Amino acid sequence: MEFKNFSQFIKNSKVGKPFADALASGRIFGTRCRRCGRTFYPPRPECPDCLDEDMEYVEVPSRGKLLTYTAIYVPPAHYAMFPPTMPFAKVTQIPCPVGVVEVDGGLRVMGWIPDVDLKTLKVGEMFDIQPRTLKNGQVTIVLSPV
C-alpha cells in the first residue's frame, strides 16, 4: 500500500511504506532505536535522543487505556457516519469522537472512535486499536471499547 493512502497531507516519508504496508495487513508499527532502545509511534526515521538512524520496526500493542478524547464537529469527509443534513454540505454536523490511547511501554496512539456515543466514553477505559480501510481506500486508526 502507498503511504498516501494513510496520510491525506504527506505523500512520501522515509518510514511511510513499511508503516502503510503494516496497516494494510491489519497491524500498527512504530520504530525502536537500536542504539538507545527508545520506541516511537508514529514511526520515526531517526532517534531524536541519540540522533542515530539505525531504527527497527516494532509492532505496537493493539490494546490500551483511553487517556483523553474530544469531538470534532466538522470532521473530515471520510469520518462522516451519516448523509449530509444540510444542503451543499459534505459532512454532517454530528460530533465525531477521536481519542488517545496509551499502550504498554508508554506509546500513545490517536484514532477515530466511530459507533460510540460520546456521552458513554470514560477516561481509563480499555480500547482496542485497529487499522481500518475506509470506502475511499485510505486507512485510518480506529479505537473500539473492549
For position 108, what pLDDT does the model report? 96
Same domain membership, residue 75 and residue 29: no
In eight-state DSSP terms, residue 2 is -
User: Are residues 98 and 67 located together in one domain of the fold?
Assistant: yes
Residue that finishes a domain, picked among 9, 34, 60: 60
pTM of the model: 0.78
From first to last of its 146 residues, what are the pLDDT tens digits of the chain? 555 555 544 455 676 778 888 888 899 999 999 999 999 998 998 998 999 999 999 999 999 999 999 988 776 666 655 555 555 555 556 778 999 999 998 999 999 998 888 889 999 999 999 998 877 777 889 999 99
**Domain boundary residue among 29, 44, 60?**
60
What pLDDT does residue 90 have?
55
Q: How many CB atoms lie within 10 A of CB 6?
A: 20
Would you state the pLDDT for residue 21?
A: 84
CA-to-CA dists, residue 75 to 70, 81, 91, 92, 117, angstroms: 12, 10, 7, 8, 16
Residue 81 and residue 47 share a domain: no
Kindly state whether residues 43 and 18 are assigned to the same domain: yes
- Complete DSSP assignment for 39-106: EESS--SS-TTT----EEEEEPPSEEEEEEEEEESS--GGG--S--SSTT-SS--S-EEEEEEEPTTS
Instruction: Output the nine-digit C-alpha cell for 27.
Output: 497491524
In terms of domains, do 86 and 119 share one? yes
Of the residues 45, 60, 75, the one at which a domain ends: 60
pLDDT of 109: 96
Q: Do 88 and 53 lie in a common domain? A: no
Q: How many domains does the chain have?
A: 2
Residues spanned by the domain of 65: 61-146
**70 and 139 in a common domain:** yes
In this predicted structure, what is the pLDDT of residue 1?
52
CATH number for 115: 2.40.50.840
One domain for residues 48 and 86 = no
- Same domain for 46 and 70, yes or no, is no
